[in-house]
Amino acid sequence: MLTAHAITKTFGANAAVDGVSFTVQRGTITGLIGPNGAGKTTLFNCLAGALKPTSGRLEFEGSRIDGLSPDRIFRRGLARTFQIPRPFPEMTVLENVMLAPVGQAGERFWANWLTPAGVAAQERVLVEKARHWIDFVGLSHLAPEPARVLSGGQRKLLELARVLMADPRLILLDEPGAGVNPALLDTIVARIEALNAQGITFLIIEHNMDLVMSLCRPILVMAQGRLLLTGTAEEVQADPRVVEAYLGGAPV
């Protein structure tokens, strides 16, 4: 579904991502782990179009996506959430979800022909859809509240609802479990599993090893910008290179 060929991203003399090649198979929940500073988020930024790779090639469902804008990649069905979600604090949860950039080109094109009633109907469809996903992530009771009242975990769920507006086929999650209390973490895991059962593929960066080991197969391990290995939870846990990478880097 997604193929990365020798992706490199340098910042000055520092190669944050250094010749990384891998594939994500459709239908999987693929994990991406590695110590702090390994280059995981930088790789996500390249995949989602926020950063242009210095070199290398990215293919999503058979088409090149490296160099496309984040919006174009999002509209093609590849969505990402942020390590630190930043919703618009004074807008409501519902408004934040409705802001997802879906179908805007179409709206601009049709706007001149649509009657006010048509625009209102379109708006109602958007509200319905936003409410559906807000309900799905368990935030219905907070839909009319400003996003600033949300906890860290609830912000992660808001992000998930927001990207689901685009009907993505592949979702990149950057640390969905970070700073999330255990009860909410169970909700997040259950929602990922439900979406995966509906056919959505995931690539997940996560430091919570219980979450990774139970949810992800296969698991990619990065260290110092490079892909160290790919394997099942058992293979990764048993590999001395992984232990070494974590001991050599900052603590998890």
38 interface partner picked from ligand ATP, Mg ion, none, CB below 5 to 8 A per type: ligand ATP
Residue (of 84, 174, 100, 108) closest to 132 by Cα position = 100
Measured in degrees and rounded to the nearest 5, phi and psi for residue 119 equal -60, -45
When the beta carbons of 60 and 82 are compared against ligand ATP, the nearer one is: 82
Strand bridging mode 14-24 / 226-231: unpaired
Tokens of 168: 């993505």
11 interface partner picked from ligand ATP, Mg ion, none, CB below 5 to 8 A per type: ligand ATP
d(CA 162, CA 156): 10
- DSSP-derived 3-state class of residue 222: strand
Least CB distance to Mg ion at residue 87 (A): 19
- Contact status, residue 222 vs residue 39, Cβ threshold 8 Å: yes
d(CA 168, CA 130): 14
Residues in contact with 83: Cβ distance below 8 Å, sequence separation at least 6, in sequence order: 41, 174, 175, 178, 205
Interaction pattern, residues 63-92, with ligand ATP; x per rule: CB under 6 A: --------------------x---------
Measured in degrees and rounded to the nearest 5, phi and psi for residue 159 equal -60, -45
Interaction pattern, residues 27-66, with ligand ATP; x per rule: CB under 6 A: -------x-xxxxxxx------------------------
When the beta carbons of 76 and 80 are compared against Mg ion, the nearer one is: 80
Least CB distance to ligand ATP at residue 108 (A): 32
When the beta carbons of 83 and 92 are compared against Mg ion, the nearer one is: 83
201 interface partner picked from Mg ion, ligand ATP, none, CB below 5 to 8 A per type: none
- Contact status, residue 83 vs residue 89, Cβ threshold 8 Å: no
31 interface partner picked from ligand ATP, Mg ion, none, CB below 5 to 8 A per type: none
Cis peptide bond upstream of 182, omega within 30: no
85 interface partner picked from ligand ATP, Mg ion, none, CB below 5 to 8 A per type: none
When the beta carbons of 39 and 168 are compared against ligand ATP, the nearer one is: 39
Residue (of 87, 91, 84) closest to 145 by Cα position = 91
Residue with tokens 């999650």: 173
When the beta carbons of 11 and 88 are compared against ligand ATP, the nearer one is: 11
Binding interface with Mg ion (CB under 5 A)? 40-41, 83
Least CB distance to ligand ATP at residue 177 (A): 12
When the beta carbons of 83 and 224 are compared against Mg ion, the nearer one is: 83
Least CB distance to ligand ATP at residue 97 (A): 25
Note the residues at the interface with ligand ATP (CB under 6 A). 11, 16, 34, 36-42, 83
